[in-house]
Structure 1
Amino acid sequence: MIKDLHFEVAEFQARLRAVKEEMARKGLDILLLSEPPNQNYLTGYNAYSFYTPQMVVVALDHAQPIWIGRFMDRISATMTTYLAEDNIRAYPDTYVQSAALSAYDFMADIVKEVAGEKARIGVEMGGYYYSARAHADLTRALPLAEFVDADLLVGWIRLVKSPAEIGIMRQAGQLADAAMQRVIDTVEAGVRECDIAAAIYHQQVSGTPEFGGDYPCCPPDLCIGERSIAPHAAWTDDPVPDSTVVNLELSGCRHRYQVNLARTIVVGRPSPEFEKLSEIAVESLNAGLDAIRPGRTCSEVDGAFRQALARHGLEKESRIGYPTGIGFPPASGERTASIRKGDETVLQAGMVFHMMPGLWLDTVGVTITQSFAVSDSGFEPLTKTPRKLVIK
C-alpha cells in the first residue's frame, strides 16, 4: 500500500515528544485533538473527512498517537500516517449523523482503554471542530474524568517550524506567486469576476511545472470596485469596470502548508492620491519587515510599522500579521501570536507570519502584504511578487 508521508518519522516523533512534555507540565494524562491541523502535525493524516467526528488521542503512556475516525477513512489514515495499524481505530457508519448513537462514546471507550476512567483530559475548547455536543457527549461518557481546556497547546508548539516545514512553505509561496501572476495577467475591463476566481482556483491547484498545489483553506478574497473596501468580500458574476480597484488575497497550499499573498490591482489609471496611499502602505510594510529579527517581540514589529504610518497622519485599528502553517478549512491563521500592539511573543527563527497591513479607509482600500519566515538574522520572504501597486 502506498505511503504518502512528507516528513521523516523522526520528525513526527520529535513533535510528539514536545507535546508530551507540555502535557506533563500541565498535568494531563490524555490530549484529545479535534483540530485537523493538529492531527496532521502529529500523525500526517490528510483526508477531507473532518465533517464527521474525528480525533487524535495522545496519551502520556502510549508510544504513538491514536487516530479515531469514520470506518471508510481508515484507509486514508493507513496511507497518510506513520501510525501502526492498532493505533488506527475506526467507528462503524451507524455512528455518522445518528440521532441515537454518538461517535464520542466510541472515542471515550478508547480513552478508558489507554488511561482509565479517571484521566485528566485536555480538550480544544476554542477549536473550530470541537462542538458543544462533542464536549457534552464526552463528559457524559467519562463522568469520572477531569476535563481541562488545552486549546492551543499544540498550536504554540507548531508556531516554530522545522527546516523541512519551511522547505514546503517555500514551495507554497511559489504557488501563491503563480496564482497572483495569473490574476495580474487575467484582470482587465470586461472580464467577469467569477472568471477571475476560476483562474485563481485553476492556478492554485495546477501549480508549477515542478509541483502541484492543494485546495486552499478558504476562498480568495476578491474585492472589486465598491467592495474593495470590504476586506473579505465575495466575487460576483459582474464584469470588471473600465476603471476600478481590485483588492485580492489568495494563497498557495502545498501538502496542507499555506502561504498567503495579497495585492492591489488597478484597472485604468489610479488617482495621484491613491498612488500615494499605496506608496505609504509599502513604506510602512517595509518598516515592519525591517524590524524583524529573533529576540524582537511581535509588539515591537507592529510598533515599527505604526511609526512609519503615523508619519503620514494615518492609523490602523486591526493587527498587521498572523502566523500560518498547516491549514485546513475554515482558516489558515494559527490562532496563537499576532503582530499587534501588546503581543509580547518573542520572535524565533522558524516562525512564519503573513504580514497583512491592509489599509481599509472609508472610501478606499489598499492591501499589499508579505509572508515571511523569521531567519537567524532577519526575515526570509516566502513570496517574490514585488511589493507594489499593480497597474493594468
Structure 2
Amino acid sequence: MSKFDHIRPFYDSEVNEALRSVAHHPMMKALMSFTFPDVEEPVWIEQLKKTHSKRDFQANFIYNAVHQVLKKSSDGFTTSGFEKLDNHTPYLYISNHRDIILDTSLLNVALLDHGLIMTASAIGDNLVKKTFLQVLSRLNRSFLVQRDLTPRELLQSSKLMSEYIYQMLRRENRSVWIAQREGRTKDGNDATQQGVLKMLAMAAEGVPLMEYFKKMKIVPVSISYEYDPTDALKMPQLLAKANDEVYVKEKNEDFNTLLSGIMGQKKRIHLHVGDVLDTELDAIAAESENNNKQIQSLAQVIDDSILSTYKLWPTNYVAYDLLYNTNQFADKYTEKEKQIFERRMEMRIDVDNKILKEGILNIYANPVVNKLKYSNA
C-alpha cells in the first residue's frame, strides 16, 4: 500500500473496475444523457466498459461533458498564453478560484486542445462525500484535500499532500492544479494564501526554498466569468458576517453550489496562463534569506501575474460604476448591458438591502479595482 492511497486518484489499473461499479448509477445515467443526448444508453455503457485509463475517460467522456456545459451555460470559452508551454513538461498551475469544478475542468479542456499534459487537481473531501462523486473525482484525476481536521492532523495531512504534489510533478511527469486559496473568493478579490505556498514547501526538506519552487515550474492562471452563477449563493454568508453571526452551511449547500456553478449562466469565460515563474524566484532568493519573507514575495508575484492578466468584462465595469457612483468606465459597456446587469441583480437579491447590493457589486467590481493597480484597466 502507498501512503497516498486515501487521497490519490485511481491508478489506470483500477479505472475499468471503478467505471463498471458506477456504470448503472442514476447519476452516471444523468451525466451521460446530458453529455451524449443522442446516444442510446447501451452504447455509452459499452464504451465505459471498454475504458481502461483516466486519460481515455477524460478525453472521451468528460471533455464532451464540459463542452455541453459550455454550450448550455455560456456564450463561449476563450484562452490565451498556452503557446508558451512545452508539450512534455509538467507544470504546477496555481489558479484564482471561481468555480469548484469548472476552473480545473476548463483548464484541462484547454490543455488537451493544446496537446499539453493534463492536470491532477486538488478537491476538498467535503465536496465528494457522496460515493458516486468520489469515484467520479478519482476517475477525473482529482486528489483529496482533507478538511475539518485537528491542528495536528492538518499538519500531517498538509505534509502528505506536499509530498504527493512533488512526486506527481517530478517523478510521474504529471501537471498539477491547485487553487491559490482554500475555498472560492466570496468578494471577487483574488489573493494567494501564504498557507497554500507553505503547504507546497513542506516537502522541500533542506533544498533552498526558491530552488525548490523553481523545480515545480509554477504557472499562475487567471480565469474570469462574465457572470458568476453562484454570486447570490455567496450572500447569506456575507450577511451573517455583517451581522456578526456564525454562518452554518445548509445540509446540501456544497453540492447545490457545485451544480449551480456548472449549469448556471456564465456568458463569456476567459482563461489565461501566465509565464512560468523563473527569474522572479531568483530575485526573491537574492532579496532575502528568510523563508517567510520569500513566501510572502512569492504570493505577491503570483498575485501580480493573476491580477494583471485577468480578463475584465462589461459586467465588471458596470458594477464598478454602480458601486462607486461614477461613469468612469461608461465607454466599456452599452446601456443595454447595464440594464441587463441591473435586472439580473434585482431578480437574484433584495436590492434594497445595502449589504446584499454592495456584496454582489463587489464580486464584479473588485477585479477592476485590482486591475487598476497594474494598468488603466
Pairwise same-fold verdict (TM > 0.5): no
Higher helix fraction: Structure 1 or Structure 2? Answer: 2
Structure with greater Cα Rg: 1
TM-score by length of 1: 0.35
Larger RCO of the pair (alpha carbons < 8 Å, separation 6+): 2
Higher strand fraction: Structure 1 or Structure 2? Answer: 1
TM-score by length of 2: 0.36
